[in-house]
Amino acid sequence: MKILLDTHIFLWALLTPEQLSKKAVESLETRDNELFFSAASTWEIAIKWSKRSLILPKPPQDFIIGRLIETGVLMLPISVSDTLNVAELPFHHRDPFDRLLIAQARSNDLKLFSGDPVFEKYDVDMFWV
């Protein structure tokens, strides 16, 4: 299964794994699953860290890259197609990062792994916490 991790799932898995269900942890650890992390999420983390609304053990440029390498999670770049596909989404939710993740999941044939109930309103293949 190919899975796009929502920003909070990536952070919970690394910093507070007790927030994830047993099934979620198993899915993250299963080598059969191909895990992706969006460049949009790195941007979101960088913004929150710079505003001091997110605490990390290291600056984002060290923390994120190091953890991606350690865990084998693949970076998903943002394509022009991904950004343009956001225009096709209904406005159930206004968060630009979440809307881009939904568009990326749809255009790249990925399941979106999240615990955010607003995603249920979209036509996107989901994997829930």
As a dihedral over the C-alpha atoms of residue 6, residue 9, residue 14, residue 17, rounded to 10 degrees, the angle is 180
Backbone angles phi, psi at 27, to 5 degrees: -65, -35
- 83 token code pair: 């950004």
pLDDT score of 129: 62
At residue 63 the predicted structure's pLDDT band, cuts being 50, 70 and 90, is very high
Q: Tell me which residue has tokens 């399941």.
A: 111
Nearest to 123 by CA among 105, 100, 96, 97: 105
Q: What is the pTM of this model?
A: 0.92
Domains of the chain, CATH where assigned: 2-128 (3.40.50.1010)
